[in-house]
Amino acid sequence: MNHLKSFLGVLALALIAITGCEKNSEIAGPAATNSELALETTAAASALEKSNGSAGAVYTMTNATSGNEVAVFNRAADGMLTAAGNFATGGLGTGGGLGNQGAVRLAYNNRLLFVCNAGSNDISVFAVRPGLSLLRTVPSGGQRPVSLTIHGNLLYVLNAGGSGNISGFNVNREGGITPIANSTQPLSGAATGPAQVEFNPRGNFLVVTEKATNRINTYSIGANGLASGPIINSSASATPFGFAFDRRGFLIVSEAVGGAPNASVVSSYNLSANGNLQVVSGSVGTNQTAACWIVITNNGRFAYASNTGSGSISGFRIRSNGSLSLLTADGRTGVSGGAPIDMVLSGDNRFLYALGQSGGEVVGFRVGSEGNLTPIGSVDVLPAFSNGLASD
């Protein structure tokens, strides 16, 4: 019951309008001193880090009201994590649940990290090396940025505050970021409880889930990077939340059904050329509570949904036609403890990590050849309501 209350609290927070507005002006900002040189040496620095025993890293943000920070964890060859320091974003968090997926993103072959600062209405850009170097912080084009997505040199931000919108930017390998004029587009209405924005694999559409309206919006992307829309689609079940595309382009969405006990589902959709969604597998039950976050393996065989209300992770097999089936009859492919609110797969897909909502922990699992999850331990050094996960 406590987990359910926590989840419903997240949903409520996601619908609160945030006052104040940043002007969406063109900003490239001065680069950090020698930032281009620093980025050019990143690959060599990363190779040195790995030669010293790190197989990669996991990133999350503290979402603290006193100053948002990115917490970095080095990943060993066996998947175990060790804290590697916190790095200030130059922005603010909210100190509460964001009801989102995708607030922390790696790009440009893991050489840049982009982070949402929901409490100060801006986006931070870091150069990635052993540690992080803050390059710049820019306004998000709206209020309360909670999710971002990158395809090529395009970045779009989902702003959940006020009436809500998406807003686009041009980015480059040096960490430059410039707003695209006239790219800001509305959601389906006000108080929609948006959760995530994501490009499809081709980069010609954006998708946004709205928890409060039970809608999944799509936006077409023109050659100039401008989004058009929204095209409004109804979700197969209530409370569409996190999602991901598989390698064939099928859209896999968690639908939390308002946090009703053991009623959560996952649905798959085909995205047509006109932006409409057709249901492939509708409302496949997890048999768990409050399925909210989704990740998919690179080979497209397995999807995982984190069940915030049940402290569990449900695995699904994805068939070549996009249809879904549970890996375990009870839906408990992995048990995370606490209330998992986000997930990420390591770059090699050997490990899955889940972030706890209130316990401030990251729980790790080894991913088996048939999609099974084996616990490998956790780290517990984060403040409550840390948010977002990314991994190389």
Write down the pLDDT at residue 358: 63
- Residue 365 confidence (pLDDT): 97
Q: Which tens digits make up the pLDDT trace of 326-362? A: 999 999 999 987 789 899 999 999 999 999 876 579 9
Predicted pLDDT at 57? 96
Give me the residue label for tokens 């480059």.
172
Q: Report d(CA 166, CA 259) in Å as an integer.
A: 26
Query: Number of C-alpha atoms within 13 angstroms, CB side, residue 258?
Result: 6
pLDDT at residue 380 in the model: 85
- % of the chain exceeding 90 in pLDDT: 80
Between the alpha carbon of residue 369 and those of residues 250, 282, 374, the distances in Å are: 22, 26, 11
Q: Which CATH class is domain 2-391?
A: mainly beta
pLDDT < 70 regions, the chain? 1-53, 358-359
* DSSP category for residue 100: -
